[in-house]
A and B are shown apart, each in its own frame.
Chain A
Amino acid sequence: EVQLVESGGGLVKPGGSLRLSCAASGFTFSRYTMNWLRQVPGKGLEWVSSISSSSSYIYYADSVKGRFTVSRDNAKNSLFLQMNTLRVEDTALYYCARDDILTAFSDYWGQGTLVTVSS
């Protein structure tokens, strides 16, 4: 069974940093492109970042470029999001999601980890 479990969320002050993790199981993690997406509670979905299977291709939303860094450890079946210089507007539930190999659509999502940026 495919499972994605996010962790690392919490309360942080503006300007602070946080590192999110996503533990993957139930599939060959090293073969899949992975994504981070976020959702302000009660609002819509926003794509944040994508990283290809071997980390060769990385993309960011303009809203986080230069502040967030995505990475992965294929040996540990883990995806990460290092978030620096956090802003109040980064407050959201952060999801990791897997892209299906054949279709390239995000077919499995974790349950999310909540990041709150507040003074």
Chain B
Amino acid sequence: DIQMTQSPSSVSASVGDRVTITCRASQGIYSWLAWYQQKPGKAPKLLIYAASSLQSGVPSRFSGSGSGTDFTLTISSLQPEDFATYYCQQTKSFPRTFGLGTKLEIK
């Protein structure tokens, strides 16, 4: 199975800050990576697919990069609605695996 190591597990930041979350795959997954945002009591929402493609309707302050084993999600200027938990997921092979999540909290 492909292991997804996500870091940090939590981060505190302020509105307007730039935040970067990283995800590392235990083996190469090309660009078969998605980023999801989840708010309390809600289903995950797809933000980025294929490592760097912005899902329709997602603000452009979100961006993704990377390929192979190392990936990043960047939020260029945090907004109040961005405080949530973020997960990466690989879809190169089954079982599809997630990172453990990064909780983004208000400083």
Residues of B within 8 A of A106 (CB): 34, 46, 89
A63's nearest neighbour on chain B, judged by CB, is: B95
Instruction: Name the CB-closest residue of B to A42.
Output: B40
Known pairs A44-B87, A59-B95; A109 contacts B43 (CB<8 A): yes
B69, CB-defined interface residue at 8 Å:
no
Given known A-B contacts A44-B87, A45-B44, A110-B43, A103 and B53 have beta carbons under 8 A apart: yes
Closest beta carbon of chain A to B3's beta carbon, Å: 13
Asked whether A75 is an interface residue with its Cβ less than 8 Å from the other chain, the reply is no
Pairwise interchain contact B34-A112, C-beta atoms closer than 8 A = no
Taking residues whose C-beta sits less than 8 angstroms from the other chain, chain B's interface range is 20 to 34
Contact partner of B34 among A50, A61, A105, CB < 8 A?
A: A105
* Contact (Cβ within 8 A) B50 A105: yes
B43 touches A46 (CB 8 A): no
Complex CA gap A79/B57 in Å reads 27
Chain A residues with Cβ under 8 A from B45's Cβ?
A: 109
Number of A-B residue pairs, CB cutoff 8 Å, is 50
Encoded as 1 (CB less than 8 Å from any B CB) or 0, chain A from 25 to 65 comes to: 00000000001000000001111001000000001011000
Contact B43 A107 (CB under 8 A): no
CB nearest to A62 among chain B residues: B95
- Tell whether, in the assembled complex, residue A104 and residue B43 are in contact, meaning their CB atoms are under 8 Å apart: no
Is B61 an interface position by the 8 A CB rule? no
Q: How far is the CA of A100 from the CA of B55 in the complex (A)?
A: 11
Q: Write out the residue numbers on chain A whose beta carbons fall within 8 Å of the beta carbon of B89.
A: 45, 47, 106
Residues of chain A having any CB pair with chain B under 8 Å: 35, 44-47, 50, 59, 61-62, 95, 100, 103-107, 109-112
Partner-A contacts on B (CB < 8 A): 34, 36, 38, 42-46, 49-50, 53, 55, 87, 89, 91, 94-101
Besides A46-B98, A62-B95, A105-B46, 5 other A-B contacts (C-beta < 8 A):
A35-B96, A45-B98, A59-B94, A100-B49, A109-B45
